Chains A and B, each alone.
Chain A
Amino acid sequence: NAGVTQTPKFQVLKTGQSMTLQCAQDMNHEYMSWYRQDPGMGLRLIHYSVGAGITDQGEVPNGYNVSRSTTEDFPLRLLSAAPSQTSVYFCASSYLDRGLQETQYFGPGTRLLVL
C-alpha cells in the first residue's frame, strides 16, 4: 500500500492563480480531509468528506473547493490564490467506526508559497 499520497510536494504560485492539490489513498478509507498548518497554529481543518459524493466545510474553508468523485481521490482546489494561503497542506484519511475516526493517516504534505 502506498498509503496517502500528495502531489506536488512544493508549489509556488502568484496571487490570483489557481491550482489543484492532489490527494489519493489506497486503503479504501471512507473519510478524507484536508488540513493546513501554519506556524504556531497547529493544524486546522479545511474540508472533509465522509464518502464519495459527500463533502463539507471544516474550520477554515474560505478560498478552497473540494470534490470527491471516487473513494480514492480528494483534490483541493485554490480558485484564486492569495498570500494568506501560503501554508503546508496535509491530506488525511481514515476509516469511520460508529461515526468516529480510526487512526488518521496523513500524507507527506504540500508546501505552498503564494507570492
Chain B
Amino acid sequence: AQKVTQAQTEISVVEKEDVTLDCVYETRDTTYYLFWYKQPPSGELVFLIRRNSFDEQNEISGRYSWNFQKSTSSFNFTITASQVVDSAVYFCALEVDGADGLTFGKGTHLIIQP
C-alpha cells in the first residue's frame, strides 16, 4: 500500500521568508509519480508539479522549487520570498498505478503573514 505523509499540519511565516513544506512517501513500486497541488481559500485544486521516479533532478519554477530525494523518499517543496498570495493548503500526492488514482497526504496549511 502507498502512503504520503505531510507531517507539518500548519506553518505560519512572515512575508518574504523562505518556507519548506515536507513530503515523505512510501511505496514498493519503482515506477511512480509525485505531485504537488495548491488549494487556495477559494477551494479549487491547482496543479503545481508532476515528477516521475526516474527523474531526481531538482526543479525550479520562479519562487517555487522542489527537492526530490529517493534515498529518503522525500519530495519537499520550497517557496522562496513568500508572499501573502501563497497562503493555501498544499497537498503532496503519489501515483503508482494510474487506475488507482492518487494517494494524497493530509495537507499542510501555509499561512503567510504580512
Residues of A that sit less than 8 Å from B by CB? 31, 33, 35, 40-45, 48, 50, 56, 58, 88, 90, 94, 96, 99-106, 108-109
Contact = CB atoms under 8 A, between A and B. Distances in A.
A103 B47 contact: yes
B33 A43 contact: no
Contacts, number: 63
Instruction: Give the interface SS of chain A, mostly helix, strand, loop or mixed.
Output: strand
Nearest to B4: A42
Contact of A108 (B43, B93, B102): B43
A100 B98 contact: yes
B89 to A, nearest CB: 9
B41 interface: no
Given A43-B91, A100-B95, A90 B101 contact: no
Nearest to B107: A42
A31 B98 contact: yes
Nearest to A97: B98
Contacts of A103: 47, 50
A43 to B, nearest CB: 4
A10 to B, nearest CB: 11
A90 to B, nearest CB: 7
B85 interface: no
Interface in B31-71: 31, 33, 35, 37, 43-45, 47, 50
A43 B102 contact: yes
A99 B105 contact: no
A108 B44 contact: yes
A50 B33 CA distance: 18
B24 to A, nearest CB: 14
B95 A105 contact: no
A102 B101 CA distance: 11
A113 to B, nearest CB: 15
B44 to A, nearest CB: 5
21 contacts: A31-B99, A42-B4, A42-B91, A42-B104, A42-B107, A43-B93, A44-B104, A48-B100, A48-B101, A58-B101, A88-B43, A90-B45, A99-B97, A99-B98, A100-B98, A101-B101, A101-B102, A103-B47, A103-B50, A106-B47, A108-B44
